[in-house]
Amino acid sequence: MSKAVRDYIRTIVDFPHEGILFRDVTTLFADPRGFRMCVDQMLHPYAGLDIDKVVGLEARGFILGGAIAHQLGTGFVPVRKKGKLPGTTISQDYKLEYGEAIVEIHDDALRQGEKVLLVDDLLATGGTAAAGISLIQRLGAEIVGCAFIVDLPELGGRKLLEDLNMDVHALCAFEGA
């Protein structure tokens, strides 16, 4: 019996807080077959599209983004937490479950009209992804899709991104927070 991407993801109960079911993709990344399957499946909906850059959201989006960019033969652009990029940046604040955060991108990382694929490991509330989308659009690039390994539908992130007219693709979904 062959395994699906979902089968490689472990659930850790009460992490980082009581009542949370943490979907840990590091077990997926550690398995060569699982990781290859994940990257291939994340690419599949965008095969044949003209993609200039892959943008990965900190931090697990860097792992995925680098692998996907390599497969596509494109460049990779990180969206990082405030203060982590060395050059001139633009920033976007967004809400977290318990506060606010800021992400940044180099102000010269994308050019007007470039086609971008946004990637991350997990789509929960969509706040981080929406902040990344804002940064990409402010630089004049066009987002062809948003790809994730896991969707947590109860938290509403997919709806948020779809309301922003984004094409959203996730390899699997888990119920619960």
Q: What is the mean pLDDT of each run of 10 residues along the chain (177 residues)?
A: 94 92 97 98 95 97 98 97 97 87 98 98 96 98 98 96 98 87
| Overall domain count for the chain | 1
Cβ neighbours, 10 Å, residue 16: 7
CATH number of the structural domain spanning residue 108: 3.40.50.2020
Query: CA 168 to CA 123: how far, in whole Å?
Result: 10
Rounded distance between C-alpha atoms, residue 42 and residue 64, angstroms: 9
Catalytic residues: 60, 97
**Residue 6 covered by a domain:** no
Question: Residue 22 domain-assigned?
Answer: no
In a domain, 28, yes or no: no
Residue 62: alpha-carbon gap to chain centroid: 8
**CA-closest candidate to residue 168, choices 124, 107, 135, 105:** 124
pTM of the predicted protein model: 0.96
Residue 117: give the domain boundaries: 33-173
State residue 98's pLDDT score.
Answer: 72
> Given this model, what pLDDT does residue 85 score?
98
